[in-house]
Structure 1
Amino acid sequence: MLGPWTFYTRKLRKIESDILSGNWYSDLLLEDFEDLLPSGEMSETEPYVRNAAVEIAVDSDTSSDVVIVEELSQVSNSRIDRVLRPRTSLNAFHLRCFSPPPSTSKVYRSRKMTLDQQLVWWTLAFFVVAASAEANDGDYVWMTDPQTHERYQVLRSSYDRDKAFFLGESTLSDRFSHAYLDALANQCNAVTGPPSVFEFLNHTSIAVAEFCLNPEIYPYSFEIYLRLFETIRWGPYTIAALVAVLFTVARYLCTKLFLKTKVGRRFTTEHSQKKAMTPLWNTISYTFLFSVETGTLLNCGYNDFVYPLCIFKDIHFKPGYFDDPIPWQYRWLYMFQIGFYAHSFYAALRLDVRRKDTSVLLIHHVLTIALLSFSFFAKFHRVGLLVLFLHDISDVILELGKFFIAVRSKYPEYANRLEHIANCLFAAFVLTWFYLRIYLFPTKVIYGTTWGVYLTHLDREAYFFLFFNTMLTTLYLLHIYWSYFIVVMLCKIAIGRMPKIEDERDFDSDTSSNGVCKPAIANGARKKEKLP
C-alpha cells in the first residue's frame, strides 16, 4: 500500500508529464486533479484548471507551470497553494514533494534540529540557490559571429544589453594603409621571439596611444563595467568558499601530523610552531597550485605561452560575450586560487605568526581575490593563467627556504648544512624572481595585452584595455619595488653585513601570537628556549 507521501509525489509527476508531453486538454488535467484533491474541492478548482489548459493549448510558448499556478492562485484554499506554488521556483528539485498531504498533516510532527544539522541544511540551501542563479532560463535568439561567421544562441536579454556596446563602421582604410595592415596581420601570425627593450617600449606606447587617446573611436564607457557586474554569479564563489574550508581543514591535519614527527616535536612553543608551520603549509599549497597551473598550461594554454601576441585573436566582444562558459580546466584553477587566498586571509588573522606587515598582507589577499574575480568574469582567464604560472614557482622556493631557516634554530648540530640549503634556495629564488617576474612577465603578459590587442583589435571593442593594463603595470611596478629590497639583501650578504638570511618582517621569537612581547629578562639573564 502506497503511503500518502508517495501517492502525492506520483500524482504530481503524472500531471507534469502530461503537461510536458503535450496532453494539455482540460479533461486530462481535471482527471489528474480530481485524483489529487479531495472531492469537495474539485468544483472550486474546475474553472481555473480549464482556463489554464485552454491558455496553454492556444499559446505554445506559455510556461505551463506558471499558468496553472497563476490560475489556481485565485483559489483561496491554502492546501492547493502549498502543494503547487513551489513548482515556479525550483521545479528541478521537486520541492513540492516535500509538502505533507493536507489530509494527513497531523502525522508529520516538527522536530527541532541541532546546530550541526541546521548548518548542513543551510549549506545545501545555499548550493541550491547558487545553482538556480547559474541557470540561464529565458528566450534565446540565433546570432552570427561577425568574425568567425558561426551561428550561436544567445539570451535575448543579453543581446538587448550587449548590442549597445558595439562600435560603428570601421575606419581602418581611412586611417592606415593596406601595406601597414598587412604587416600587422603577418606579425600576428608569425613566430616571433621576445621583444627588445626598445621594441617593447615603442609598441606598448603605440598601443596605449591608439586605445586610450582616441575617445571618439574607442569610447570609454562605464556602462560596460555595470554590465560586467550584472554577470557575477554566486556559484563560483560558493565553490571557492568550500575550497577555502578544505584548505583550512587540510592545514589543521597537516599541522597535527607535523607536530608528531621528529622535527615537529622540537618546536615546543606556539609561536615557534606557527613560525615553522606557516612556510611549510605555504610550500605545500603553492606546489599544489603550481602543479594545477602547469597542467592547465600544457593542456590548454601552451600556445598562449609561446605566442602571447595571438591570445586576443580569438577573444572579441559579441552579443552574449559574458554568457560564454569558461573551460572547466580554467574554471577549477580559478576556484582553487580564489579559495586559497580566502583561506590565506583567515590564516593571516588566526593561524599564521604575527608579522609587521600583516595588514599589508591582508590588503594583498583582498586585491588578489578582486583581480582574479575580474579576470574570471571578464573572460580574461587565458591571460590570468600566464600571470599565475609566472608567479607561483618563486613562492614555492621562497617558502621552502623560510622553512629551513625556521628549522635551523632547532638543529644546532646541522645549522651549517641547513644554512647552506637555505642559501641555495635563496639563490634559486632570486634567479626565478628576476627571470619570471621581471623579464618574462612584461614580455609575455604585458606585451600581449598591449601590442597583441593592437594587432587584433584595431577599430574593434577594447573596453577593458586601460583598466586591465593599469592593473598589470601596477603589479609589475610592485615587482620592481620588491626587487630593490632583494638587491639590498644580496649586497649585505656579499659584504658580510648579513651573515645569516633572516626574515626581518617577523617579530622577535619571544613575541606572542598577538604581537605583545613577553618578559624576556629574569635574574639578570635572558631566558633561552630549551631543546628537547
Structure 2
Amino acid sequence: MVKVWDFLFYPDYYGLVQAMYDIPEYVRTEPIHPDGWLAEVRTYCELNWKDIQIICILAVVWSIFRELLIRCIFVPLSNYAQLTEANVKKMPESAWRATFYIISWSFIAYVIVGSHFELFTDPPSVFKGWAPGMKVPSDIYAAYAIQGSFYLHCMFATIFLDVWRSDSALLCCHHVLTLSLIGFSYAARYHNIGILVIFCHDVNDICLECAKVFIYLKVRAGKFYPVCEFMANIFFSLFALGWLMCRMYWFPLKVLYSILPSTAKVYYQDHLPFGIEFNVLLWLLMAMDVYWFSLILVFLFKIIIGDTKEMDDPREETDESSLKVGIDRKRLSVNGHEEETIPVQNSNGVLTPGKAMNGDGVKHRQPHQQNNSHEVPNHN
C-alpha cells in the first residue's frame, strides 16, 4: 500500500517549492572547477565513439523501418480505405509514431516498474551510488540507445519527411533539447534521471498519435464513420488526463524535485557536477510542456462552449490539392444516409454551400472568415 501511495502521490508541490529555496545557496557554495566548465566536462563526463556509432546506426535503422512500414503497410491501407488526399499523407506518419511509442514506452515501463521501481517511489535515490563514469545498467543503456537514436531520426524526419506544420520549428527545438538531455545525462551518468523523464513523457505520445489516426479515418470513401470520431475522443481524453498526471504532476514532482540541490544531497553528500545546467534544461522542458498543455486547455474550452464541433489540426496549412477542380459537389453519407454536400471550391474560387464532416478533407475557408475546427494539439 505504501508503494502504491508513493508511486502516485509522493512527493507534493509544497515539497517542491520548499526544495527550490536552496538553489541560491547551492549556486553560492557549490565548488567550481578551477580550470573552468570544459575541465569539469572532461573530469565528470564519459562518452566514447562506440556509443555515438550505436546511436547513428539505430537512427538509420529507424528511418528504414519507418519507410518500410509506411510504404508497405500504412500507405496501402490508406489507399484501400480511400482516405482524402491530405490524410493519405498524414495518417501513415501518425500510425508509424504510434507503433514506435507503444513498443518503446512499454519497454521503458518494464525497466522502471520491473527493475528500478525505487527511482519512482523515492526520487532522491536517483543519485544513490553515483560516480563519474559508472557502469550503466544494460536495460537503461538499451532504453537510452533507443530514445537517442529515435530523436536523431525525428530531427531528419521533421525537416525532410513529415508534413510541415506551424509548430514544426518548435518541434525541432524540442528534439534538439531532448537529444542534449539524453547525451548529457548519459555522459554525466545521470541516467536514472533520464529514464524518469522518458517514462513521464512518452506515454502521452501513444494517446496523441492514436487519436490522430482515428481522426484521419473518420471519412473513408465519402462516408463518415462515427465510431472513429468516438475512438478519437476516447484517446484524446486519455491524452489530456495522461498529460495532466504525467507531465504536470509526475514530471515536476518526481524529476524536477529530485534534481534540486537539497533533494540530490539526501543520498550523495559530495560534489554533484552540472547541477545548474540540468536544472535549466529540465525546467525548459517543463516550460514547453506547460505551453502545449495550454493548447490542450484552449481546445477543451472551445469544445465546452460549443465553438468546436470536431477535431481538426489548427497547425495544418490548407491542402491546396483538395481544393482543385474536380472535387466538386461530393457527398458524404453517415451509415448509408446521404448528408449535405461538402463546401468545395471551383476554379473561380467560389465556395458552394454544404456541410463539412471532416476538417482534414476540404476546409471551408473564405476571406475574413475564421476556421473554427481544431485537432488535438501536437507536442511530441
State the TM-score, normalized to the length of structure 1: 0.57
Matches within 5 A, 1:27-426: 194-206=10-22, 208-215=23-30, 218-219=31-32, 221-227=36-42, 231-255=46-70, 256-261=72-77, 264-267=80-83, 269=85, 271-315=86-130, 317=131, 321-322=132-133, 324-410=134-220, 413-426=223-236
Max Rg structure: 1
Distance across 2 between alignment mates of 1:298 and 1:524: 57
Contact 2:105 2:199 in 1 (8 A): yes
1:389 offset after TM fit, Å?
0.5
Match status 1:440 vs 2:250: yes
Contact 2:210 2:235 in 1 (8 A): yes
Distance across 1 between alignment mates of 2:45 and 2:11: 38
1:434-460: CA deviation from partner (whole Å, max 9, x where unpaired): 0110011111111111242132344x2
Distance across 2 between alignment mates of 1:264 and 1:243: 31
Q: Name the amino acid aligned to 1:301.
A: H
User: Relative contact order: is structure 1 or structure 2 higher (C-alpha 8 Å, sep ≥ 6)?
Assistant: 2
The structure with the greater share of residues assigned to helix is 1
The structure-2 alpha-carbon separation of the partners of 1:311 and 1:449, relative to structure 1 and needing over 3 Å to count, comes to same
Distance across 1 between alignment mates of 2:43 and 2:168: 32
Distance across 2 between alignment mates of 1:389 and 1:262: 31
1:268 offset after TM fit, Å?
6.5
The structure-2 alpha-carbon separation of the partners of 1:361 and 1:214, relative to structure 1 and needing over 3 Å to count, comes to same
1:525 offset after TM fit, Å?
5.0
Contact 1:278 1:352 in 2 (8 A): yes
Q: Name the amino acid aligned to 1:345.
A: M
1:413 offset after TM fit, Å?
3.4
The structure-2 alpha-carbon separation of the partners of 1:276 and 1:311, relative to structure 1 and needing over 3 Å to count, comes to same
Distance across 1 between alignment mates of 2:299 and 2:116: 36
Contact 1:296 1:329 in 2 (8 A): yes
Contact 2:46 2:187 in 1 (8 A): yes
1:467 offset after TM fit, Å?
1.0
1:481-507: CA deviation from partner (whole Å, max 9, x where unpaired): 222121111110001001111111111
The structure-2 alpha-carbon separation of the partners of 1:414 and 1:466, relative to structure 1 and needing over 3 Å to count, comes to same
The corresponding residue for 2:330 is none
Match status 1:431 vs 2:246: no
Q: Name the amino acid aligned to 1:522.
A: S
Provide the secondary structure at the position in 1 that maps to 2:29: coil
Would you identify which runs of 4 or more consecutive aligned residues in structure 1 move more than 4 Å?
Answer: 262-265, 517-520, 523-530
The structure-2 alpha-carbon separation of the partners of 1:222 and 1:510, relative to structure 1 and needing over 3 Å to count, comes to same
The structure-2 alpha-carbon separation of the partners of 1:201 and 1:224, relative to structure 1 and needing over 3 Å to count, comes to farther
Distance across 2 between alignment mates of 1:511 and 1:227: 54
1:265 offset after TM fit, Å?
4.6
Q: Name the amino acid aligned to 1:359.
A: A
Aligned residues: 326
The structure-2 alpha-carbon separation of the partners of 1:263 and 1:307, relative to structure 1 and needing over 3 Å to count, comes to farther
Query: What root-mean-square deviation, in Å, do the aligned CA atoms of Structure 1 and Structure 2 show?
Result: 2.7
The structure-2 alpha-carbon separation of the partners of 1:438 and 1:251, relative to structure 1 and needing over 3 Å to count, comes to same
Using the TM superposition, name which of 241-250 and 491-500 deviates more.
Answer: 241-250
Q: Name the amino acid aligned to 1:195.
A: P
The structure-2 alpha-carbon separation of the partners of 1:343 and 1:292, relative to structure 1 and needing over 3 Å to count, comes to same
Q: Name the amino acid aligned to 1:201.
A: V
Provide the secondary structure at the position in 2 that maps to 1:339: helix
The corresponding residue for 1:183 is none
Contact 2:204 2:242 in 1 (8 A): yes
Provide the secondary structure at the position in 2 that maps to 1:273: helix
The structure-2 alpha-carbon separation of the partners of 1:524 and 1:202, relative to structure 1 and needing over 3 Å to count, comes to closer
Distance across 1 between alignment mates of 2:80 and 2:274: 49
Provide the secondary structure at the position in 1 that maps to 2:291: helix
Distance across 1 between alignment mates of 2:11 and 2:192: 21
The corresponding residue for 2:266 is 455
Distance across 1 between alignment mates of 2:266 and 2:24: 14
The corresponding residue for 1:522 is 347
Distance across 1 between alignment mates of 2:181 and 2:80: 36
1:20-42: CA deviation from partner (whole Å, max 9, x where unpaired): xxxxxxxxxxxxxxxxxxxxxxx
Contact 1:280 1:400 in 2 (8 A): yes
List alignment gaps of at least 5 residues for structure 1. 1-190
